[in-house]
Chain A
Amino acid sequence: MMPVVPVTHTPTRKDEVKRLVSLTWTLALTDWKLRFYGSVLGLAWTLVRPFALFGVVYVVFTQIAGLDENVPNYGIYILFALVLFNFFSEMTGTAVQALVSRESLLRKMQFNPVVIPLSVSVTALLNLGMTLIAVFIFAISTGVQPTWSWLELPVIVALLFLFGTGIGMLLSVLYVRFRDVEPIWDVITQILFYGSAVLYVAVSTVPASFRQGFLCNPLAALFTQMRHAVVDPGAPTITQAFNRPQYALIPLGIILGTFALGVWFFLRESPRVAENL
């Protein structure tokens, strides 16, 4: 008689985390590749599209609209802000339907659903990376001087990533129950676009009377810091933009709080997501 060998495979926590990371990366990468499937230029579109957009923005805002002469590299600021805002809106906008559109996977395979909103954010991050290459080429060619403070950009992107992922997790779970999350979020994204100092500079354009409240918006705060770090070292940092430096903890708190809330809510709701889809 053949002895039956007992099965000893029980995944450890480390294995689970490895699987989570590996799965997130695989899903993000295939989604990213899928975007270029069947197009002639393929990957080149990630560069061509931003370049075309920048050309328009640059011409309109520096030659036609006649922006504030006192703001150095105004066009470049708008480009960076636009790119970062697109990153945010792509993360959140795609996350809304992410769970529902992955229905077949959720109903047939056992895995932690958290990889779905995470992979959406990672795909957006890959796009941002490609676009930033174009933006930096453009920035240097128009006379922006590289400085050490450019290294602050990864921190800004990381905070934006946390903020967007937290919101994405909230939205994706809510959308399973309430389908009108999608149009509502569309409207909010529009409001945020005009309310987050993408096309203007917060510290000089926004009236001082409500500038403090305005900067509590995490997007406006991050863009303000980005302007100092990347576009114009002479511009105020976020701590200088607030009346008191410690006020800068408010947008930071909102970012971390949103992320924590998103993760908590997602983990609470996600075990039942497969049957509610």
Chain B
Amino acid sequence: MTALVQSPADARAARLDTAPPAVVVDHVFKTFRLPHVQYSTLKERLLHPLRSTTYDELKALKDVDLTIRQGEFFGIVGRNGSGKSTLLKCLAGIYRPEFGTVAVNGRLSPFIELGVGFNPDLTARDNVVINGVMMGLTRKQAIRSFDEVIAFAELEEFVDLKLKNYSSGMTVRLGFATAIQMNADVLLVDEVLAVGDAAFQQKCFEEFNRLKAAGKTVIFVTHDMHQTERYCDRAMLIERGDVLTIGEPHAVARAYNELNFGRLVTDGAETGRYGDQRACEITDAWFEDAEGARIGEIAQYERLTMCARIRFHLVVEDPVVGFSVRNDVGHTVFITTTEWAQATTGRCEIGQELIARITVDAVMSPTKYDLTPSVARQGGADVLDVREDLASVYVHGTRVTGGLIDLPHTFTLEHGP
């Protein structure tokens, strides 16, 4: 029985624990010397022979210790300047660590800072061939792989165009296609999804799933916590060269959000709460049934209303109110915001209260659900208050199907002759 209910994610985690390492980073330090005044000509050096000795040391990586297993999808998150790209360059062998070692088992294909080192004066064809040779293919193999690269990047019409005439999105597509078609054992991906259009992003996701299925190791740098939670088996948060956490993606994403938004929440505040709460705070959240009564449980397929009360301490113009619902194992099953629904919240005055409600049919499969309400300024980036799992409700039904939601449906059956 236990073997049957084990989720695919758990099975995967168990397999990863025993897989051989793909990348071992052993106590790596990297320091850059930044001279106070850059002397780049001989004359300057001759005129000031002693002065050039002062410099700042930028400790880009401090004692990074990390083992990534074969077949793992590993996320690296961190704010700008935290050392992500330096770590990636150390992994790729472009930078040499000051102390410590980096060992990679297998061939590694880097895609760093949105590129793979293309020459803008060459055509896509020449660039892809050069890159293939750099990756260790022979010239013939590289020329043969070219068609697949172009097909993946969907740039058939622009094969003989010089890269300097490409748009940035096209260049990134070509670079990513090149990196992926090298069929390497370890793929380093640096923020590729930031530039491509929606269709290409979708394609990248599909490609990630395929790589995952093929047992390839992917090391993925991103600022998007949804992508981290959705794709990564494990993730790592790095800040000013220090590894803050390595572990379960959800926990890392939470730590990252705290780092970004939770600067005022650090001392003694409850965990799972972000935003500075000076402009407004969420005072309450609850579930209601069709009659408007507060409830803690509801029958499947009933009308279910989610509510949040927000009190304003400052005037906020058109804030964005969001709801996110998670099930008992932490999967987010539903998210909405007033912005996506194009609902206007209007001007909220000092001392005013706003109650936000959304009503849905409770089609979720029977289990416990937690509600996370959030408020952000117009645009959604500036978080004012988020309270994780503030209210919860049990959905009860006749049968546990194993699906996340139980869509109402009808069967149509036709017997053949």
Contact = CB atoms under 8 A, between A and B. Distances in A.
B41 A179 contact: yes
Interface string B89-118: 100111110000000011110101101111
Interface of A: 1-2, 4-7, 9, 11, 15, 18-19, 22-23, 25-27, 30, 33-34, 37, 104-111, 177-180, 184, 271-272, 274-275
B106 A104 contact: no
A6 B20 contact: yes
Listed residue (A1, A6, A109, A180) with the most chain B CB atoms within 10 angstroms of its CB: A109
B78 interface: no
B40 interface: yes
Contact of A23 (B42, B112, B133): B133
A26 B142 CA distance: 11
B32 interface: yes
Contacts of A25: 139
10 contacts: A4-B70, A9-B185, A18-B138, A27-B130, A106-B94, A109-B131, A110-B92, A110-B93, A110-B108, A180-B42
A33 B119 CA distance: 14
A11 B93 CA distance: 14
A2 to B, nearest CB: 7
A18 to B, nearest CB: 8
Given A34-B122, A108-B94, A274-B94, 16 more contacts: A1-B11, A4-B18, A4-B70, A18-B138, A22-B138, A37-B121, A107-B117, A108-B113, A108-B115, A108-B117, A109-B131, A110-B93, A178-B41, A178-B45, A179-B41, A274-B89
Interface in B122-156: 122, 126, 129-131, 133-136, 138-139
B71 interface: yes
Interface in B334-385: none
Contact of B95 (A30, A184, A275): A275
B278 interface: no
Contacts of A274: 89, 94-95
Contacts of B136: 11, 15, 19
Interface of B: 11, 15, 18-20, 22, 32, 40-43, 45, 70-71, 89, 92-96, 105-108, 110, 112-113, 115-119, 121-122, 126, 129-131, 133-136, 138-139, 185, 215
A104 B119 contact: yes
Given A22-B138, A30-B122, A108 B133 contact: no
A18 B112 CA distance: 25
A4 B19 contact: yes
Nearest to B112: A108
A26 B139 contact: yes
Given A6-B20, A179-B40, A275-B32, A111 B134 contact: yes
B379 to A, nearest CB: 33
B133 A7 contact: no
Contacts of B139: 22, 25-26
A15 B133 CA distance: 12
Nearest to A34: B121
B40 A7 contact: no
Contact of A1 (B15, B40, B126): B15
Nearest to A177: B40
B120 to A, nearest CB: 8
Nearest to A184: B42
Nearest to A11: B136
A4 B110 contact: no
A110 B122 CA distance: 20
B71 A4 contact: yes
Given A4-B15, A178-B42, A109 B215 contact: no
Contacts of A27: 130
Nearest to A30: B126
Contacts of A11: 136
Contacts of B110: 108-110
